[in-house]
Amino acid sequence: MRYIAVIPSRMESKRLPGKPLKKIGNKSMIQRVYEQSIKCERFEKVIVATDNDEIKKHVESFGEVVLTSSNPINGTERVSEALNKINISYDYVVNIQGDEPFIKKNQIDALLNICNGKNQICSLVKKTPYNQELKKNSIIKVVMDKNKNALYFSRNIIPTNNENAIYYKHIGLYAFKKNTIKKITELSKSELEKIESLEQLRWLENNYKIKLAITEEDTFGIDTEEDLIKANKIILNN
C-alpha cells in the first residue's frame, strides 16, 4: 500500500481565530502537526492544504503546502480538492486534522495497519472511562459491531448512561481509499448528520463502512484558548 497525508488548515475557527499559527512553545500549531505527521515513514508525502496565503507562506518555511479555494466547508472537502492538485500515485490518503499537535506515530501506524485495500474508510477509537469528560459533547462517542465497523457516532453518550458499559471515544484521524473521498464529498448532507453535526454519519447513511482500529494512545485537539494554554503547559513540562 502507498500512503500520503493531507493536513487541512484554515484560519476561520469560530472559537479560536487564527488557530493554525498560534504558538505552542516556540512553534506554530500547524508546524507541530506537520512534524508529528512526518515521523511516520510510511507516508510518501505529507502536505498541508489551505486557502490562506499567510498559512501557505508559513508552511513553505518547513514543509509542503497546496493552496485550495475557499469553497470547501470542511476538512474532508479541502483534502479532496487538494488531491486534484497533487500529481502522485497512492492507495490511501490520510486526513490529519490541523489542530492535533500531539498526534502520535503509533496512532498513525494503527490506522494504516487496517488499510488493506478493501476497507474504504478507516479511523481510530480509544476505550475511555465513564466520567464527566465523556459527557462533553466535544468528545465524540462511537459504537461498533463485532468486526469493528462503526455503527453510529454521537455527541451524546452511547450506549446509554451506564457505568458498567464499555465506551469508545473517536480519534478524528481518517484514511480514505483512493476515489472514495471524492465520492463521499459529492453526497448531500444527511438527516442524521444535521442532527449530530457529524459528517461521518452521512457516509454511514449512504452505506459506506468505516473500519475502526483501537488505539491505546490518547490525543488532544486544540479548540479553545483554554486548550491552547493546556497545550503550552504540556510542552513546557516535557
Give me the half-sphere count of Cα atoms (radius 13 Å) on the Cβ side of residue 69.
7
Residue 170 within any structural domain of the chain = no
Instruction: Write down the pLDDT at residue 155.
Output: 95
Q: Which of 37-51, 131-145, 217-231 has the highest mean pLDDT?
A: 37-51
CA nearest to 222, candidates 45, 26, 19: 19
Within-domain flag for 34 = yes
Domain count of the fold of the chain:
1
pLDDT in tens, 76-94: 999 999 999 998 999 999 9
Residues 159-182 pLDDT 10s: 988 888 999 999 989 999 999 999
Residue 17 lies in a domain: yes
Cα gap 85→187, rounded to integer Å: 21
pLDDT above 80 (res 211): yes
Between 53 and 164, where is the model more confident? 53
**Domain presence at residue 194:** no
Q: 64 with 45: CB under 8 angstroms?
A: yes
Flag whether 168 is in a domain.
no
The model's confidence at residue 237, banded by pLDDT at 50, 70 and 90, is confident
Please report the pLDDT score of residue 71 as a whole number. 92
**Main-chain phi, psi angles of 79, to 5 degrees:** -60, -45
Q: Which domain holds residue 84?
A: 1-103+219-238
In CATH, what number is assigned to the domain containing residue 230? Answer: 3.90.550.10
Confidence of residue 220 (pLDDT cuts 50, 70, 90): confident
pLDDT at 12: 85
* pLDDT at residue 183, rounded to an integer: 96
Average pLDDT over residues 25-37: 97
pLDDT for the residue 175: 98
Note whether residue 121 is domain-resident: no
Decide if pLDDT at 127 tops 90: yes
Residue 218 has pLDDT above 80, yes or no: yes
Confidence (pLDDT) at 13: 81
Q: Is residue 11 part of a domain?
A: yes
Residue 131 counted as domain residue: no
Q: In this predicted structure, what is the pLDDT of residue 214?
A: 97
Q: If you average pLDDT over residues 116-132, what whole number do you get?
A: 95
Contact present, 7 and 20 (Cβ < 8 Å): no
Predicted TM-score (pTM) of this structure: 0.94
